[in-house]
Structure 1
Amino acid sequence: MSASFDKFFDQDGNIREGVLTGNTWLKLLTDTDNVYVNAERLDSIGSLSGKETLMYVMRTLDILDEISSEKELNKQEKDVIETVLKWSEVAKGGLSKERNEWRKKGYPIDIHNIASAEIYKDETGDDGLIYTLIKTHGVIGQCIRGEISVSANKELLAYRKYNALDMKRLLLVLNECIIRAVSDKIWDSVKVSTKSLIDNIVSGELTEFSPQYRLQRLCPGEMEFFGSDVDFFAKEIFPKYELWYFEAALSSFDMGQIRTILTNTVKEIEISGQEVLHLNFKPLADSLLYDYEGKKHVNVYKKRIIEKYLLDSSVQNVDIDVKIENKSAFVDFKFSKVCEKLIEFCVEAERSGLLTFEKSIIVLYDMFGFRRDAFDRLNNEDKYLMTMNNVSASTKDSIIDYVTGESVVDVGSGGGILLDKLEGKFPDKQIIGTDISTNVIETLDQKKHREGHKWNVLVHNFVDSTMEREVGSIIFSSILHEIYSYTEGTNGKFDIDSVKLALRNAYDSLGKGGRIIIRDGVKTSGNAVRKIRFKTEAGLDFFKNYVKDFKGLKDIPEEKKVLFIDEDKLTVAGDINFIREFLFTYTWGIESYAHEVQEQFGYFTLEQYREFFEELGAKVIVAKELLEPGYPDNLGQYLNLLDENGNVVEYPASNCIIVAEK
């Protein structure tokens, strides 16, 4: 605690007997049900105690005691500053009854320097120097931050020469106390500017800062703005309004978004027809912040919804919220109840940890029947399709060489990159794209008309039916493992019959000489044991989560999937197929975990592919397996793969290419 605090409180934090007598300022700061603090200065929202304002005032008094001798303050000067510091924050205190009375009197209690001055005058009858210093308390700092005009200090001009007081010294000490009590670092950065502005006030010069300078001070750091932005502030904002909590609320937005917020705020003010002198963004600052892992963060879910509204004001479920009281406009955004619940869901899921968060999002997929794969399809279908189109297509290029016949079907066309490649290589063939997602087909259809493609698309699922007419080639590129992982067969998910049914229907859709072309994961033959030695505990944690969450490989007894986990040596051992599935999930990282853990990438060995197609009467003309080079390159950073005896071994094959001809 501080020395000033100890004057008024005992070691248990209880107020000392009799100290409230004659100290109304202290009663208002201690006996309050109002928690008012600039969240910008907090490390954690959860750290709020309700005593922040009181402790801030105590720090200002401590600093005054510390520097009064150094600054050679006389007793009258110190007494004036001490009184100002004690009373300057009282509008943030008081009980609800008192605060309501202040509002009825017209005191703008959220513009706390003005309201505190009026409360002081009510209590003491003084409307002189101390009243004026309370009223202008913090204004110099706001000028330096670009929030208000220099002319807001004009009331100080009447006291430039006041009795035995050195006003320059008095103002400098007062501002050092109030700024250092927030942060010594901030004081170090502004003390030269503070001294310069005080020099001007004492000399009677209230020269305004340029709009360019004010905007630079309002938007510190890397925020970019242009001449049009300076003109906007110079004409629409600076001459009309003081800005409160501007940086605290708006620093995470870009200048275009800030201008939209301000423009919409001004429109609401004009519609109201009320006089407004202050734009107060504290409600927005408070609502945008929350705690994650014990630290304050911007609520990115709420911010993204606001950003969408700022791009298109017709967006439903969110709108700007401007409340006007005592010439102040309080700015925030209001959300529909549905929108608030969704934000709440995302925040709570995130607080459970990233893995739980990703898995919680899957709950929404299950509830609403959205398609699920390695991409976040719920909140950004466009991003999914763009990602699909940007995927390296080297293997896809190679499988195109096996196409035959006059028509070719791309199963699960996604973003359409394979359709484009097929059209480029076979301009005279009929190319058909399919997907089980109506949204994907609609987007592909738009792409077709926008870019002038000849291929066609349709909603189709080979698990359900054959094509309506015979085709020359059918390509399954990284699709069959999704059919295997997500289709609810008679035995639930991970039912090989779903893959067999899709392939039979595809085979029946071929004309004579037609081909099924597969590019997908491959299962490893045999039941060898493989070990993994992780290089970090994070890798072992990932593995333990995978063991708990992965539901595939039903053909392997549970006790054989994982043979042991040695936490001390960061080593695990298990069946080669379980280890292989883990490896090729781990390489995608924790962000994709919730999706990837639901999929079994290898469902047939190379030999099982051969046997199945031969049973159909097909001729297997290509059957080869390969290891994508990116897998060992990436995984080598995090682990070593060993055989049963602890020797380093090569990774099992990850993919295969199968071509079966009718």
Structure 2
Amino acid sequence: MSSNFDKYFENGGSLKQGVLEEHVWLRFLTCTDNVYVNAERLESMGSLSGRETLMYVIRTLDILDEVAGRDKLGSRVKEIVETTLKWSEVAKGGLSKERKTWIEKGYPLDIHNIASAEIYKDVTGDAGTIYTLIKTHGIVGQCIRGEISVSANAPLIDIKDDEKKAILMSLNECIIRAASENIWNNIKKSVESLIDRIIAGDLSEFTAQYRLQKLCPREIEFFENDVKFFEKNIFPKFELWYFESALSDFNMGQIRTILSNTLDAINRSGKEVRHLNFKPLSDSLYYDYEGKKHVNIYKKRIIEKYILDSSVQNVDIDVKIENGSAFVDFKFSSVCEKLIDFCVEAERSGLLTFEKSIIVLYDMFGFRRDAFDRLNNEDKYLKTMNDVTSSTKDSIIDYVVGESVVDVGSGGGILLDKLEKSYPDKKVIGTDISANVIETLNQKKNRDGHKWEVQVHNFVDDTMDPKVGSIIFSSILHEIYSYTETDGGRFEIDSVKKALRNAYDSLNKGGRIIIRDGVKTKGSYPLSIRFKTEAGLDFFKNYMNDFKGLKDIPEEKKVSSIDEKTLTVTGDVNFIREFLYTYTWGAESYAHEVQEQFGYFTLSEYKEFFNELGAKIIFAEELLEPGYPDNLGKLVELLDEKGNPAEYPDSNCIIIAEKQIT
């Protein structure tokens, strides 16, 4: 434990005798029935202990000891900073009776620096330097994050102290480092620069452009109209609390709508508001998945629908105004809340029946039902997919030509990164039909410093302009085939043909379409699977009922026999192939994989189609990804019609088609 923890607590974690009488600040933080935590700082929502605020203060005191030794702070400076740190969070503590008294006195407990200063003055009678430091506690950091105006630091100018810089620098290092060492390392120069300005009496404001960039560090695209909106409606009027933790997963258009609706609610109330506090939204927007905190994508999608159309029922913005603060959240109908709870529990369970059930609700939430809308198991799925297919994903990059290359259906951005690394001088463009995927990719680009660009685009509907050198369809055409609704429903080859024709028309002369995807087995013959467990046979029966692809094969031929005793099934090679390459991903991915038909063209059908387009086939090969038999061999035996061990049908193909120059 830390040295400061040991000052107040025994080895077992209980308080030492008499410390509460001597240290009133400690009593407020330890004897409390109020748990006040910033969800932004949590790795897991389930990790709450109730001591988060106390332990944060202890960390600040430990850091102060380190800083005092390093910078040789005088005893008086250290005492001022130490007292400030001890009292700066007390408004987050206290028992219900004490908190009720503070509220009756008008202390804004959710603006904890102001309330803590008043509580300190009540207890000590001191309204001098330490009172001012508590009242302005954290404001330097908030200025640098763009949340409040520089002028909020005005009280610090009046502090008459020869060692003001040492006090302010050490205080801010303690409170910022205790939250995050990385944040402190990134902004300490900015902190020092702002403190120098405050000491010099310079409270000139940062530009609206600068503040907006700091407010939305993960948001790439905002325009002049966005800057003007904040400059006119937000920055001169309000301080922003918990803005980034609540809104960083929304795009700028959505943020503007949320703010506009919040301002409307404030105007209707007729009350004076100085603070926009988004902590309620930040707290309610997260939940745990596999032990880690994630945005509740179900709530977020419903909020997004409301943002597009405020008449949407079951959800509305919820703005509560108290003591000059507007607390922003969204409220959901009880039915909506139950659906959200169901989806969360279904996702957590990983059970096949729940995974199937969740598909029924997708249309209600407007989800894409494909490999790149897997919610919080997406990272795990993409890692598994990448491990299995890394060899062919790497090899197709070698066929890229021209000055620009498009990755269709970029998903998690894995191929974009590979292309950027392999071709630093080419323009790399990612596309997806989902605005949410593009939003996430833009955040990744900004966070990791990539140069590639992304845009919403669907080749089924349109060509690209300007034309490009290469277009890559890596594991995406089968999704176009499986999810595009046509006059004939889903699983219609015309959707693939339209996408490829539009892609071909989007190429410069000499440009290439590069395809890596599933391949359909030519012909028809029986193939059998002998499962090694009864669970495998149950999985197969579910697949029989749920898979709607292979419309060209009569139902009675898809599965010709099931032997319960030997756990053996026999069916058409293409049905068996589709099942096997779904089964390999397991129950957690079943609800998504069963929606898709992996093979839609045979290799010869690919060649015929590109010949009709007038393209030159540079390379065409079908193959079996080694990851499939390696994984499936633990689960099944594959048999031919005579009961002998059979080879797995090819799973994938690579096609390189070039647009003729003449």
Residue in 1 aligned with 2:659?
none
Asked if the contact 2:320–2:326 (Cα under 8 Å) also holds between the matched residues in 1, the reply is yes
CA positional deviation for 1:392: 7.1
1:20 is aligned to 2:20: yes
Q: Is the 8 A contact 1:587 1:631 kept in 2?
A: no
Alignment of 1:319-330 (within 5 A): 319-330=316-327
Q: Indicate yes or no: 2:114 matched with 1:114.
A: yes
Could you say which residue in structure 1 is the equivalent of 2:564? 558
Structure 1 residues 50-95: Cα deviation after superposition (integer angstroms, max 9, x where no partner) = 1000000000000111110222211111111110000000000011
Q: Deviations over 1:562-611 (max 9, x none)?
A: 4xxxxxxxxxxxx443986453134356687337769999xxxxxxxxxx
- The alpha-carbon distance between structure 1 residues 181 and 596, as it changes in their structure 2 partners (threshold 3 A), is closer
Residue in structure 1 matched with residue 272 of structure 2 by the alignment: 275
Say if 1:632 and 1:651, in contact at 8 Å, map to a contact too: yes
Instruction: Give 3-state SS (helix, strand or coil) of 1:13's partner.
Output: coil
Q: 1:286: how far off? A: 0.5
TM-fit CA distance, 1:360: 2.2
* Cα distance in 2 between the residues matched to 1:147 and 1:305: 27
Q: Which amino acid aligns with 2:31?
A: D
Is the alpha carbon distance of 1:125 and 1:375 closer, same or farther for their aligned partners in structure 2, counting shifts above 3 Å?
A: closer
- How far residue 289 of structure 1 moved from its aligned partner, in angstroms, is 0.5
Equivalent-residue separation in structure 2 for 1:248 and 1:258 (angstroms):
13
Q: 2:243 aligns with which of 243, 246, 250?
A: 246
Q: Measure, in 2, the Cα distance between the counterparts of 1:260 and 1:388.
A: 31
Taking the aligned partners of 2:107 and 2:222, their CA distance within structure 1 comes to: 36
Residue 406 of structure 1: aligned partner: none
Tell me what 2:358 maps to: 361
- Per the alignment, do residues 65 and 626 of structure 1 end up closer, same or farther by CA in structure 2, a change over 3 Å counting? closer
Q: Deviations over 1:508-535 (max 9, x none)?
A: xxxxxxxxxxx9999744xx656799xx
| Pair member with larger Rg | 1
Residues in 1 aligned to 2:39 and 2:86: alpha-carbon distance in whole angstroms: 22
* Partners of 1:561 and 1:578 within 8 A in 2: no
Equivalent position of 2:554 in the other structure:
none
Judged with a 3 Å threshold, the aligned counterparts in structure 2 of structure 1 residues 413 and 193 are, in CA distance, closer, same or farther, namely same
> Aligned equivalents of 2:214 and 2:597: distance in 1?
55
Gaps in structure 1 of 5+ consecutive residues:
377-381, 397-409, 422-518, 534-539, 563-574, 602-624, 653-662
- TM-score, with length taken from structure 2: 0.65
Corresponding residue number in structure 2 for 1:91: 91
Match of 1:180 among 171, 177, 196: 177
Deviations 1:5-28, CA, capped at 9 Å, x for gaps: 111001111000011112110000
Q: Output the CA distance in 2 between the equivalents of 1:32 and 1:284.
A: 23
Q: 2:356 and 2:15 mapped to 1: Cα distance?
A: 50
RMSD: 4.2
For residue 175 of structure 1, give the secondary structure of its aligned residue in structure 2.
helix
Instruction: Give the drift of 1:204.
Output: 1.3
User: Hey, what does 1:501 align to over in structure 2?
Assistant: none
Q: Does 1:546 align with 2:539?
A: yes
Is the Cα–Cα contact under 8 Å of residues 537 and 567 in structure 2 kept in the other structure? Answer: no
The residue correspondences of 1:245-264 to structure 2 (distance < 5 A) are 245-264=242-261
AA aligned opposite 2:73: L
**Identity over aligned residues, as a percent?**
59
Asked if the contact 1:550/1:598 (under 8 Å) is kept, the reply is no
Three-state SS of the structure 2 residue aligned to 1:639 is helix
Q: Among residues 295, 301, 306, which one is paired with 1:298 in the alignment?
A: 295
Distance 2:90 2:24 in 1: 9
Aligned partner of 1:638 in structure 2 is 628
Tell whether the 8 Å contact from 1:147 to 1:214 is kept in structure 2 after alignment: yes
Superposed CA deviations along residues 398-446 of structure 1, whole A, max 9, x for unmatched, are xxxxxxxxxxxx998226978999xxxxxxxxxxxxxxxxxxxxxxxxx
Q: Are the equivalent residues in 1 in contact too, given 2:521–2:573 (CA < 8 A)?
A: no
What's the offset of the Cα at 1:104? 1.0
2:80 matched residue in structure 1:
80
Code of the aligned partner of 2:132 = T
Give the Cα separation in 2 of the matches to 1:356 and 1:53: 41
- CA deviation map 1:355-402 (0-9, x unaligned): 454212256699x9xxxx9999xxxxx99xx99999979xx9xxxxxx
Q: How does 1:204-603 map to 2 (within 5 A)?
A: 204-353=201-350, 355-361=352-358, 413-414=488-489, 524-525=525-526, 546-547=539-540, 549-550=542-543, 553=559, 555-562=561-568, 575-577=569-571, 581-587=575-581, 593-594=590-591
CA distance in 2, matches of 1:276, 1:651: 66
Inter-CA distance 78–4: structure 2 relative to 1 (3 Å threshold):
same
In 2: Cα distance, 1:116 partner to 1:314 partner: 41
* Structure 2 partner of 1:457: none
Residues 1:40 and 1:545: Cα distance change in structure 2 (over 3 Å): farther
- Matching residue's letter, 1:55: M
> Given that residues 208 and 230 in structure 2 are in contact (C-alpha distance below 8 angstroms), is that contact kept between their aligned partners in structure 1?
yes
Aligned length: 487
Task: Report the AA paired with residue 143 of structure 1.
Answer: C
Q: Report what 2:549 is aligned to.
A: none
2:565 partner SS: helix
d(CA) in 2 for partners of 1:375 and 1:389? 20
- Answer whether contact 1:389 1:417 (CA < 8 A) is retained: no
Aligned 1:117-132 pairs, distance under 5 A: 117-132=117-132
**SS of corresponding position for 1:559:** coil
Please state whether the residue corresponding to 2:313 is helix, strand or coil. Answer: coil
CA distance in 2, matches of 1:28, 1:585: 61
Counterpart of 1:100? 100
Partner of 2:400: none
Please tell me whether the aligned partners of residues 389 and 415 of structure 1 are also in contact (alpha carbons under 8 angstroms): no
Once structures 1 and 2 are overlaid, which stretch shifts more, 17-26 or 638-647? 638-647
2:489 corresponds to which letter in structure 1?
A: G
Q: Residue 525 of structure 2 contacts residue 572 of structure 2 at CA under 8 Å; is this kept in 1?
A: no
Q: CA deviation at 1:649?
A: 5.8
Deviation at 1:214, TM superposition (A): 0.6
Q: Give me the whole-angstrom Cα distance separating, in 2, the residues matched to 1:203 and 1:334.
A: 46
Instruction: Find the aligned partners of 2:459 and 2:32 in 1 and give their Cα distance.
Output: 54
In the TM superposition, what is the alpha-carbon distance from 1:246 to its structure 2 partner?
Answer: 0.3
Are the equivalent residues in 2 in contact too, given 1:9–1:16 (CA < 8 A)?
A: yes
Partner of 2:29: 29
TM-score, L = length of structure 1 = 0.65
Q: Secondary structure at the residue paired with 2:318?
A: strand
What letter matches 2:137 in structure 1?
A: H
Q: SS at the partner of 1:319? A: strand
Query: What are the superposed Cα offsets for residues 328-378 of structure 1, whole Å, 9 maximum, x if unpaired?
Result: 000000111111111111111001127454212256699x9xxxx9999xx
Judged with a 3 Å threshold, the aligned counterparts in structure 2 of structure 1 residues 364 and 221 are, in CA distance, closer, same or farther, namely closer
What SS class does the counterpart of residue 43 from structure 1 fall into?
Answer: coil
After superposition, give the CA deviation of every residue in 1:280-320 in whole Å (9 maximum; x if it has no partner).
Answer: 00000011010001000000010000001101111111110
8 Å Cα contact 2:521-2:649 kept in structure 1 = no
In structure 2, give the amino acid aligned to 1:585: F
Q: Please, which moves more after superposition, 19-28 or 221-230?
A: 221-230
Matches of 1:142 and 1:64, distance apart in 2: 20
The amino acid of 2:324's aligned partner reads: K
Following the alignment from structure 1 to structure 2, what is the Cα–Cα distance between the partners of residues 259 and 41? 25
Whether contact under 8 Å (2:88, 2:137) holds in the other structure is yes
Tell me if the contact between 1:45 and 1:290 (Cα under 8 Å) persists in the aligned partners. Answer: yes
Contact 1:530 1:642 (8 Å CA) reproduced: yes
In the alignment, is the contact (CA less than 8 A) between 1:279 and 1:331 conserved in 2?
Answer: yes
Find the aligned partners of 2:92 and 2:538 in 1 and give their Cα distance.
Answer: 48
- Cα distance 1:634–1:182, how it changes in 2: closer, same or farther (>3 A)? farther
| Larger mean Cα displacement after TM superposition, 349-358 or 102-111 | 349-358
Aligned to 1:620: none
